Amino acid sequence: METPLTLTDVEAVALENIDPDWAEYFRGGSGREQTLAENTVAFARWRLRQRVLRGMETTSTETTVLGHPVRSPVVVAPVAYQRLAHEDGEVGMARAAAAVGSALCLSTYSNASVAEVAAAAPDGVRFLQVYVFSDHGITDDLIAQAVDAGFSAVFLTVDLPVVGIRDRERRIHWRFSDDSLPSVRYAHDHGSAGESLQLIDPALDWAYLERLASSVSVPVVVKGVLEPADAVLAAEHGAAGVVVSNHGGRQLDGAMPTLEALPAIVEAVGDRLDVLFDSGIRRGTDVAIALALGADAVLAGRQPLWGLAARGEDGARQVLELLREELAVALHLMGCRSVDELTLEHVARAVRP
C-alpha cells in the first residue's frame, strides 16, 4: 500500500506490516470483546453541536495536562512492548509526541529505558505508568529512575490486579529480543510477557496509593477508574488525577464503556482532580466529545501505536498530528476558540443512537 494519508489508512498499513501474532496482541480485548467494541460505539450516541458565523480566524488545541502546557490534549497512552510494533519503539514514539506537542506516558513494560526516552525527547512532557510488582522494590527503583530522568507524574494502573481473559493473547507465541528496563528484565526472568503480568501485586489497596502519593515528589494519577466512588477515594488518598479507563477493553469484559462512566466521575471529582479519559479514541471528533463531557485531556493507545507500526516515528507523528488537526477542525465548526471552551453545551445525545 502507498503512504497512508488518513487514520483509517494508517491502521490498514500497520496491520499489513506487523507480525500477525503481535497484531493480535495489540488489537485484542478480553472475553467476547464486548467492552472493546462498545468503547467506540459509545461515541456514536453523542452529537457535536455546530455553531456558525462566529467570526473566528482560527482555533487553538493548546491546553495543560497536570499543569504542563501542551499543544494537543491527546496524550500517548502507555502501551507495552512498542518495539514489537516497530524498531523505533518507545524512543520513536517519544520523539513523535514531542514533535507534535503531545505528552507521553511510558509503560512499565517498555522496551526502552526511562533514560533513553528522556534523552530522545528532552523537551517532551513525559509521565511513567506503573504496575506494582509483588516485589515492591522493583517498582520503587523504576519510579526513582524515572523521576531522575525528568518524568513528571506517575500513573498508577489499578485495573489489572489480575490479567483479563484475553483469548487472542493466549493463542500467540511470545518471543523477545529487547529488555532494557529493569522491570522488563525482571519480568522476563520470570517467564514470558503473557506470564509477566502475573507478577503484578494482586492485592494493592488505597493505603498503598496513599503511601505512594506521600513518598514520591511528583503527582500520582490513578489509571483505570470507572466508578465515581473510586474517584472520590482516589482524591481522598492523595491522587492528583484519575484516568477514566477500562484499559482499552482488555480487562473486565462487560465493564461499561468509558464514555458512559465519564460524566458521573466529572461530577464527583472534576473540581478536585484532573480527570483524564481513554479507551475508544479513534478520531479527533471523539476527543471533542470526551472533552465536552468534562475530561481535561484524553489518552490514545492503539491509534498512535498503529502509526508507529505503519511507519515508525514518522507514522506515530502523523497519527498524533491527524488527531490534533481533526480536533482543530471540529472546534472551528463548533465555534470554539480553544479546547478549554468545550462544555456540555457543545454536545447533545443522539435521538437515534
What is the binding site for ligand FMN (CB under 6 A)?
A: 25-26, 39, 77-80, 107-109, 129, 157, 223, 245, 247-248, 250, 278-281, 299-302
Minimum distance of ligand FMN from residue 309's CB (angstroms) = 11
Nearer to ligand FMN, 13 or 300 (CB): 300
Please report which residue ranges of the chain form alpha helices under DSSP H: 7-17, 20-27, 34-41, 89-100, 114-120, 136-148, 167-171, 182-189, 193-196, 206-215, 228-236, 258-269, 284-292, 302-333
CB 297 to ligand FMN: min, Å? 13
Q: What is the DSSP letter of 247?
A: G
The whole-angstrom distance between residue 36's C-alpha and the CA centroid of its chain comes to: 14
Which residue is catalytic, options 86, 237, 247, 346?
247
b/e map of 52-85 (b: 16 or more CB within 10 Å)?
eeeeeeebebebebbeeebbbbbbbbbbbbbbbb
Q: Is 9 exposed, middle or buried (0-12, 13-18, 19+ CB in 10 A)?
A: middle
Please identify, using beta-carbon distances, which residue of 59 and 186 lies nearer to ligand FMN.
186
Q: How far is the CB of 93 from ligand FMN (least distance, A)?
A: 12
C-alpha cell, 313: 516515528
CB 176 within 8 A of CB 188: yes
Least separation in angstroms between residue 2's CB and ligand FMN is 25
Nearer to ligand FMN, 59 or 157 (CB): 157
Nearer Cβ to ligand FMN (96/336) = 96
Q: Which is nearer to ligand FMN, 59 or 318 (CB)?
A: 318
CA distance 299 to 174: 27
Angle ∠(84,89,91) on CA atoms, nearest 5 = 165
Q: Which is nearer to ligand FMN, 126 or 223 (CB)?
A: 223
Cα–Cα distance for residue pair 302/305, rounded to 1 Å: 5
Instruction: Please say if 247 is a catalytic residue.
Output: yes
Least separation in angstroms between CB 246 and ligand FMN:
8
Q: How far is the CB of 114 from ligand FMN (least distance, A)?
A: 14
Computed from CA positions of residues 163, 168, 169, 170, in that sequence, does the dihedral angle turn out positive or negative?
positive
- Residue of minimal Cβ distance to ligand FMN: 301
* Angle between helical axes of 136-148 and 182-189 (0-180°, round to 10): 150
Active site residue ranges: 247
